[in-house]
Structure 1
Amino acid sequence: MKPVFIAALALIEGARASVQGFDVSHYQSSVNFAAAYSSGARFVIIKATEGTTYIDPTFSSKYTAATSAGFIRGGYHFAHPGETTGAAQADYFTAHGGGWSGDGITLPGMLDLESSSSSQCWGLSTTSMVAWIKAFSDRYHSTTGRFPMLYTNPSWWSTCTGNSNAFVSTNPLVLARYASSPGTIPGGWPYQTIWQNADTYTYGGDSDIFNGAMTGLVQLATG
């Protein structure tokens, strides 16, 4: 089953179903995973790597704590497009926490695509950006058997990829939009798989909403 269609299973089960989750990094020095789980959250995405030189120093401890608390969990990679190849960054990610296993509790890795402090599109043309993302995605897929989730916001995707629809049939969309609804979905995706709906969450990090029922979330972590 191609990953982007996994959410369809959940939508069929219940059009209004959703599952609360969140994402964290070293910026959250302490996270009470047990309390978050008790509150109803069921998944968490944890920063693992950035570029080809940075490993989040809190990744391992957070990943272990999330697992112990019963979460479906996974890692994410903050992309530095153009600094090194997409394939090189995918390799770095999988080597330092970004792997995947069809065990029902491990999410596909997430590629975090957003601006740097100095460059919105990292100095790449829209064509080069799409090629870079594809190189990362293809290498991750060849290594793990899954395509990574792609995290982006509508403005960045439109500006930096030309609103490319090249990933609709392969990569689940994690949509960042801080509003009361997801709004217009970029890139030709029919819907988002996960919606980052706020940049604050009670137990730390950002709030994420899986677009479907718990069975669909488990399927996303199973393949």
Structure 2
Amino acid sequence: MKSALTACVAFAAAANAAVQGFDVSHWQPTVNFAGAYSSGARFVFIKATEGTSYIDPSFSSHYTGATNAGLIRGGYHFAHPGQTTGAAQADYFIAHGGGWTSDGRTLPGMLDLESGSSGQCWGLSAASMVSWIKAFSDRYHSRLGVYPLIYTNPSWWSACTGNSNAFVSTNPLVLARYASSPGTIPGGWPYQTIWQNSDSYAYGGDSEIFNGDLAGLQRLAKG
């Protein structure tokens, strides 16, 4: 099975190409998906799960709304590293909205890595965090045939993984950085696949920019 990054290589060189997207959760109970599509957005990530015990109550309605609006869509999982295994959380995510099929409209799931109730790095050493992420990623890949995207910000990735480059050849990067440019890319990734450039989007949630053209986004969805 080719790596999830293979589909991204062709559009990486298209530095001037970009596709607007966004992400949402239950914190945005009402989202104007049709308005977002009309304004030029073509994709959305929707929160599905946390850990192994939480399902976002708005996931189903958001997913239906995004589908009806014609958006390419996918689920994301807010990780609770160390509380349960990476494999167990991948299974829970897949069972509750994080699945994927090569239909050109479903994005591979996204693993959301950031600080939580257990502190910035969830009580794990950098080596243990890398192992946890790998366990999640490998289980997702073994079950669905694609690797999940990894969402992180540079400070978290540096502090909690030691700026690991272990995922460069497998997992596309979703970079969170609210600035005028993506800046320095962490973890040895040569570029970000998606840039979360703002925590405010006109039609709901956070703004995200795909680093390529629509055909490249469709290739990512197809795996």
Bin of the TM-score, shorter chain as denominator length: over 0.9
User: AA paired with 1:203?
Assistant: Y
Number of the residue aligned with 2:137: 137
Does 2:23 align with 1:11? no
Does 2:51 align with 1:46? no
1:137-185 deviation per Cα after TM superposition (whole angstroms, max 9, x unaligned): 0000011111000000000000000000000000000000000000000
User: AA paired with 2:179?
Assistant: A
How many residues were matched structurally? Answer: 222
Q: Give the conservation status (yes or no) of the 8 Å contact 1:152–1:176.
A: yes
Distance 1:101 1:9 in 2: 21
Q: Give the conservation status (yes or no) of the 8 Å contact 2:87–2:135.
A: yes
Uncovered stretches (5+) of structure 2, i.e. residues with no partner? none
1:144-183 → structure 2 map (5 Å cutoff) = 144-183=144-183
Does 2:3 align with 1:2? yes
Local SS of the residue matching 2:131: helix
By how many angstroms is 1:24 displaced? Answer: 0.1
Distance 2:131 2:116 in 1: 19
Number of the residue aligned with 2:109: 109
1:86-105 deviation per Cα after TM superposition (whole angstroms, max 9, x unaligned): 00000000000000001000
Distance 2:12 2:50 in 1: 33
By how many angstroms is 1:118 displaced? Answer: 4.4
1:101-151 deviation per Cα after TM superposition (whole angstroms, max 9, x unaligned): 010000000000000144000000000000000000000001111100000
Number of the residue aligned with 1:204: 204
Q: Give the conservation status (yes or no) of the 8 Å contact 2:77–2:98.
A: yes
Root-mean-square deviation (CA, aligned residues, Å) is: 0.8
By how many angstroms is 1:5 displaced? Answer: 3.5
- With normalisation by structure 1, the TM-score equals 0.98
Distance 1:76 1:95 in 2: 12
Q: Give the conservation status (yes or no) of the 8 Å contact 2:12–2:191.
A: no
Q: Give the conservation status (yes or no) of the 8 Å contact 2:100–2:109.
A: yes
Distance 1:198 1:15 in 2: 19
1:76-95 deviation per Cα after TM superposition (whole angstroms, max 9, x unaligned): 00000000000000000000
Q: Give the conservation status (yes or no) of the 8 Å contact 1:126–1:162.
A: yes
1:15-26 → structure 2 map (5 Å cutoff) = 15-26=15-26
Number of the residue aligned with 2:27: 27
Distance 1:147 1:133 in 2: 11
Uncovered stretches (5+) of structure 1, i.e. residues with no partner? none
Number of the residue aligned with 1:127: 127
Number of the residue aligned with 2:63: 63
User: AA paired with 1:144?
Assistant: L
Number of the residue aligned with 2:90: 90
- With normalisation by structure 2, the TM-score equals 0.98
Distance 2:193 2:204 in 1: 21
By how many angstroms is 1:15 displaced? Answer: 2.5
Distance 1:24 1:6 in 2: 25
Q: Give the conservation status (yes or no) of the 8 Å contact 1:24–1:204.
A: yes
Local SS of the residue matching 2:74: strand
Distance 2:81 2:139 in 1: 15
